Amino acid sequence: MTSQMNRRRFLRSGIGPATAAAAAPAVAPAPLVGYDAFTDGDVIENRTFTGVNIGIVVRANNVTIRRCKFRQLVSDGRNGIGILVMNNTVGTRIIECEVDGTASVSDAAGIVLEGGCRGVVAVDNYIHHMQRSGLSMGAISYGGSAPVSDQSEHYITRNKIEYCGTLGFTGAAGSGIVVAGQSHRHTIRENRVRRNRGHGNLLAGSLQGDGTLGTPAFDQSPTWNVLAENIVEYNGEDGICNSGANYTWIRHNFTYANGGQPINVLMLGGTCDSRDVEKTENREIQ
């Protein structure tokens, strides 16, 4: 595995990369991987992965993962992931897969899109009962760590994500869909996100800290993302939370019976001031 696989920055949704890396041993053992997709155009279909740290690692371009199941994922403190899409990959397609966290020990999201990947299409997947978040893209760079690469242009549609955050985590670590840091121009539409411990959909920026370990390295804001036609219901915190993300379009969503606000727009300051967020024709029911 590469040195990137030994870093924890992309594996723990809601946990800062520097904080996690500081706690890691100098040399971490390689995760047990069910399938390592390192050939461009690879197709993985109709397979079931159990008892591994990571089901499938995507290192190549234009990889297709279709109708696979991931169960009983086991974490060593860095993983417990169904599908991990690595840095500098393009065009991954994840279609009709199930990540079942019911009997898993997961320290990450069910599907993780690492900083630097582009153009992931995730369609008609079912992610449920993860100990942490359901689907996570991007991360925050913290003091003492290298910057997390930008990622862009993912299309996340018609997925069902429910009952995540079963260990009791709130915020990003227990949310259904998380978009963090320098993560841009994604379309998140027609998903059903329900009964997660944290937020339903979270777009999370960060305001630069004072440079000490564990504080954000610089202002980081997701930009130009679209959330449209999602059904977001019965989540523990906000249905849709836009925390410092700029130029977000939030359109035609149905948010119902969430623990916080139906749609909550928070300004962090600096460049993460949630500027030009458009909310249009959403149905918001407390």
- What is the three-state SS of the chain? CCHHHHCCCCCCCCCCHHHHHHHCCCCCCCCCEEEEECCCCCEEECCEEECCCEEEEECCCCCEEECCEEECCECCCCCCEEEEECCCCECCEEECCEEECCCCECCCCCEEECCCCECCEEECCEEECCCCCCEEECCCCECCCCCCCCEECCEEECCEEECCCCCCCCHHHHCCEEEECCEECCEEECCEEECCCCCCEEEECECCCCCCCCCECCCECCECCEEECCEEECCCCCCEEEECCECCEEECCEEECCCCCCEEEECCECCECCCCCEEECCEEEC
- What pLDDT, on the 0 to 100 scale, is given for residue 213? 82
Tell me the two tokens of residue 114: 């690492």
- What pLDDT, on the 0 to 100 scale, is given for residue 121? 98
- What pLDDT, on the 0 to 100 scale, is given for residue 5? 38
- What pLDDT, on the 0 to 100 scale, is given for residue 55? 98
In order along its 286 residues, the chain shows pLDDT tens digits of: 333 333 333 333 333 333 233 333 455 678 999 999 999 999 999 999 999 999 999 999 999 999 999 999 999 988 999 999 999 999 999 999 999 999 999 999 999 999 999 999 999 999 999 999 999 999 888 887 778 899 999 999 999 999 999 999 889 999 999 999 999 999 999 999 999 999 999 999 999 988 888 888 889 999 999 999 999 999 999 999 999 999 999 999 999 999 999 999 999 999 999 999 999 999 999 8
How many CB atoms are located within 10 Å of the residue 6 CB?
17
Cβ 70 vs Cβ 83: under 8 Å: yes
State the residue for tokens 């369609």: 123
The residues spanned by each domain of the chain are 3-285
- What pLDDT, on the 0 to 100 scale, is given for residue 141? 87
- What pLDDT, on the 0 to 100 scale, is given for residue 11? 36
- Cα separation, 188 vs 152, whole angstroms: 12
- What pLDDT, on the 0 to 100 scale, is given for residue 163? 98
- The correct CATH number of 3-285 out of 1.10.3470, 2.40.128, 3.40.50, 2.160.20 is 2.160.20
